[in-house]
Structure formats: structure tokens, C-alpha cells
Structure 1
């Protein structure tokens, strides 16, 4: 019942993009963490350290982009300032 209620809240919040994004982060975030944790544990149990470190690096990048999307915007704006394009492509 709680899952159905959250889904209805997401549908009602579709008009506001920020509310929808926050709702999706709150809904998908824990599932994503569970999947990453399970895959990481399997790499550790198999003693595949290289694959574990690669997976950990990719997971960190995905989590940063998923939970802090403003980071990508700030990187783009900083690159634009550095190159001096001023938005003129």
C-alpha cells in the first residue's frame, strides 16, 4: 500500500520537475545502493580486486551524478569559463 501511495505522489508531482526528481531519487536511490552493494560483495568474495576497484569507481561517478546532479552543471559552466566561449559555440 505504501508503494502505491508513493507512486501516486510521483504522478501528482509530475507537474513540478524538482519534486519529481526528488521523488525518483528517494525511490530509486535505495534500490541502486542495494544493487551496488550486492555486486561489490560478490567481487570481494571472489577476490577480484581489480574488477572491484573499477566497479567502485564507476559506482561513485554514477552516485555523484544521480544524487548531486548540479555537479555536472558546475563542471560544464567551469569548462565554459575556462575556454572563454561564453555560450557562443
Structure 2
């Protein structure tokens, strides 16, 4: 069975956005918020807590990495539009 691949956007406590990819959204969010260990992001470690504001499932790791790269290149306003298009409550 193939693993699911996700690209996601987190909103940090300072209002900035962090974009990444994972195969386990729940576990990855936990790691970001714990901020410990070598799997924790240096960026989010000092901007906790973070909350998941957007995610999408991708067909493969390669597709997720490409989508992550594309989202990271977007200006903030375009990221906000993307987030608002799939509001997570």
C-alpha cells in the first residue's frame, strides 16, 4: 500500500507561514509543536505554537515536493488566498 503524501501550511504564533510536506500530518504537527529532536524544524521551533491552516494530498513524494516548492515561492497574499480556499475549522 502506498503512503499518502501531504503538503501543508502552518501558521506560526507570530503570524508567519511555514510550508512543508509529510506522510503523517498528525505526527508532523505534533513534532512541530514539541520543537524537540532532529526532526523539528528550526523555523517553527522558535515560533510555537503552530496550527495547521491548509493541506492537500499529493499522488507521490515527488509531487508533494514540487507542490511544496511552488507554494513556498508564492507571495504571502497568494498563500492567504490558497488557505482561504480550503478553510480548515
TM-score, normalised via structure 2 length: 0.25
Greater RCO (Cα-Cα under 8 Å, separation 6 or more): 2
Q: Which has the higher strand share?
A: 2
TM-score (norm 1): 0.25
Which structure: larger Rg?
1
More helix by percentage = 1
